[in-house]
Amino acid sequence: MIDIHCHILPGVDDGSADMKESLNMARKAVEAGITHLFATPHHLNEKYVNVKSDIIDRAVRLNESLQQNNIPLTIHPGQEVRIHRDIFSSLEKEEILTLDDNVTYLLLELPSGRVPAYTQEVIYELLLKGITPIIVHPERNKELITNHKLLFELVQEGALTQITSGSIIGNFGKSIQSFSKKIIEHNLAHFIATDAHNIGSRGFTLQQAYEKITKVYGIERTFYFKENTELLLQGLSLIIEKPVPFKKKFMGIF
Ligand SMILES: [Fe+2]
């Protein structure tokens, strides 16, 4: 399996503290069936900077350590970019790192409590530059939880989304689990990823989430999410289903 969002690079953010912990996380990821992992440290989120060149260097070093320790996992450099007015000057300064060499997909983080007024404009401007933002864990955003229509509009505009595996299996509570389900049912989710920060409470629960999705929606839905991670890794076009507005009632129960 491919995980497109995690905090495994040592000592750069609120994820792994040091190389020892990163190697332990890597072992857990392998045990959980993950073969490729995008290391996506926080960027511009008030506390952490983590510019592109630094992340690439650190990913190289982590891959070397993984080889030395015979851990069969490949790290790909990435970044979780907090939405910010300065995002475009960061892009110009080449501080921003997309998930692929073609500069196509970018993990975009909203503040947890709200959706800033300039969000739609940032998405629009990124799309104009050929960059498709993947909004991470929209199911945990307080404003989107109460305003589903806004999420529909962001996806309709061209943004993609990534649901966190822990949300699907209930690790963040019932309301976040329930909203995750609604997002999937309305074709507003394009990826599932762990957003792993450690080997404890924020670990690699990708397989459990896929099992839940298979149980509720069938194996095809799991294949859809897995295939998108494969396509992203290979730099190919993703499968994007037509978003469904929030009207209909669905029967699936998590
Ligand atoms: Fe994250």
> What is the model's pLDDT at position 249?
54
Q: Which tens digits make up the pLDDT trace of 178-223?
A: 999 999 999 999 999 999 999 988 999 999 999 999 999 999 999 9
Q: Distance of alpha carbon 4 from its chain centroid, rounded?
A: 6
What is the pTM assigned to this prediction?
Answer: 0.95
Q: How remote is the CA of residue 95 from the centroid of ligand 1, in Å?
A: 18
Q: How remote is the CA of residue 126 from the centroid of ligand 1, in Å?
A: 20
Answer whether residue 229 shows pLDDT above 80.
Answer: yes
Q: How remote is the CA of residue 41 from the centroid of ligand 1, in Å?
A: 7
Q: Which tens digits make up the pLDDT trace of 108-160?
A: 999 989 999 999 999 999 999 999 999 999 999 999 999 999 999 999 999 99
Mean of pLDDT values over 77-99: 94
Q: How remote is the CA of residue 195 from the centroid of ligand 1, in Å?
A: 5
Give the integer Cα–Cα distance in Å for 151 and 3. Answer: 23
Q: How remote is the CA of residue 164 from the centroid of ligand 1, in Å?
A: 9
Residues 6+ apart with CB under 8 A from 142: 112, 113, 114
Residues 6+ apart with CB under 8 A from 126: 87, 106, 108, 132, 133
Q: How remote is the CA of residue 80 from the centroid of ligand 1, in Å?
A: 6
Answer whether residue 64 shows pLDDT above 80.
Answer: yes
Whether the CA torsion 240, 8, 175, 171 is positive or negative: it is: positive
Give the integer Cα–Cα distance in Å for 165 and 211. Answer: 10
Closest C-alpha to 2, from 27, 39, 43? 39
Give the integer Cα–Cα distance in Å for 211 and 219. Answer: 9
> What is the model's pLDDT at position 253?
55
Q: How remote is the CA of residue 5 from the centroid of ligand 1, in Å?
A: 6
Q: How remote is the CA of residue 30 from the centroid of ligand 1, in Å?
A: 19
Q: How remote is the CA of residue 224 from the centroid of ligand 1, in Å?
A: 22
Q: How remote is the CA of residue 248 from the centroid of ligand 1, in Å?
A: 31
Q: How remote is the CA of residue 9 from the centroid of ligand 1, in Å?
A: 12
Query: Which residue shows structure tokens 């792993």?
Result: 196
Q: How remote is the CA of residue 206 from the centroid of ligand 1, in Å?
A: 14
Q: Which amino acid is at 60?
A: V
Provide the residue count of the chain.
254
Answer whether residue 254 shows pLDDT above 80.
Answer: no
Give the integer Cα–Cα distance in Å for 82 and 40. Answer: 12
Domains of the chain: 2-234 (3.20.20.140)
The DSSP annotation for 69-110 comes to TT---EEEE--EEEP-TTHHHHHHTT----SSTTS-EEEEE-
Q: How remote is the CA of residue 120 from the centroid of ligand 1, in Å?
A: 21
Q: How remote is the CA of residue 157 from the centroid of ligand 1, in Å?
A: 23
Q: Can you list the alpha helix ranges (DSSP code H) found in the chain?
A: 19-31, 52-68, 87-92, 119-128, 142-146, 148-157, 165-168, 174-185, 206-217, 219-234
Residue 54 — pLDDT band, cuts 50, 70, 90? very high
Closest C-alpha to 193, from 211, 179, 205? 205
Q: How remote is the CA of residue 6 from the centroid of ligand 1, in Å?
A: 6
Q: How remote is the CA of residue 247 from the centroid of ligand 1, in Å?
A: 30
Q: How remote is the CA of residue 215 from the centroid of ligand 1, in Å?
A: 26
Q: How remote is the CA of residue 66 from the centroid of ligand 1, in Å?
A: 21
